[in-house]
Amino acid sequence: MQQTLAEYVEAYNVLAQLEATMKSMEGEVNLDNAVVKKQDTGDEVLATFEQEAQSYRQVQQDFTDFMNRLQEDISAKAEEFGHVEYYDGRLRDGYSNRVAAASDKVGLLDERRKDLAQTNPLLAEDSLLPPEPSVEEVTYENLAINLQAIAKNALEELNDLKDEDASKVASAEPQPKDEAANAMLPDIVESLPENLDQQDEQSKEEEE
């Protein structure tokens, strides 16, 4: 390729010199004055050649990228249609093929489905999961409450109240001696005027 470029540059310089000589001969009578010296235009030609080479490399890179994308599409289609199913074969190994394909995609599943993949990769891929629950902060606060301790304290307080009520009732009930005194009180009140009368009579008799 370097030899071809050198030949092209040499031929281009000769052609440019010839064209310049012909133009000079048209305006000059003397042939010596019409002679044009050879000029080296290799730098311009190299710059032009480099520009064309860059354009060619860009086209080549675009073609390579297109072929890579095409190969990826071909690989995807081959994976999709590589398993040619027929009726008997589908009945025999159709499910097994789906399970094998799902096993290769376990790493692409989300965290909730990866737990199911330990049981069955196909189940993890095809199952319909409910939406992820949204838990409020008050839920965690309620879960932190010790209901057993609260119930125990409530029962102890209730027993204390019962004991206090029982002690109040016991203190309000009359003792046996008090009951006897209360029973004799009406008789004493009734006999009090008679005793007073008797005492008055005795005092009168003593005075006489």
* Span 135-156, pLDDT tens digits: 777 777 878 888 888 888 888 8
pLDDT over 60 at 199, yes or no: no
Task: Say if residues 48 and 12 touch (Cβ distance below 8 Å).
Answer: no
Which of 3-7, 32-36, 45-49, 147-151 shows the highest mean pLDDT?
Answer: 147-151
Which of 6-10, 162-166, 188-192 shows the highest mean pLDDT?
Answer: 162-166
Mean pLDDT (whole number) for 164-176: 64
pLDDT over 80 at 66, yes or no: yes
Dihedral of CA 176/178/179/181: which sign? positive
pLDDT over 70 at 201, yes or no: no
Q: Give the residue from 45, 15, 42 showing the smallest Cα distance to 23.
A: 15
pLDDT over 60 at 184, yes or no: no
Per residue in 22-41, pLDDT (tens digit) is 776 666 555 555 555 555 55
* CA neighbours closer than 13 Å in the CB half-sphere of residue 141: 3
Q: Give the residue from 6, 1, 12 showing the smallest Cα distance to 53.
A: 1
Q: Which residue's entry shows tokens 């119930």?
A: 151
According to DSSP H, which parts of the chain are helical? Answer: 2-27, 31-34, 42-81, 87-103, 111-117, 121-126, 137-143, 147-172, 176-207
- For 99, the token pair is 């399970």
At residue 177 the predicted structure's pLDDT band, cuts being 50, 70 and 90, is very low
* CA neighbours closer than 13 Å in the CB half-sphere of residue 103: 8
Domain ranges (residues) in the chain: 2-78, 144-203
Distance between CA atoms of residues 46 and 48, nearest Å: 5
Per residue in 77-135, pLDDT (tens digit) is 777 776 555 655 565 666 777 788 888 888 888 888 888 888 888 888 888 888 877 77
- The pLDDT of residue 207: 56
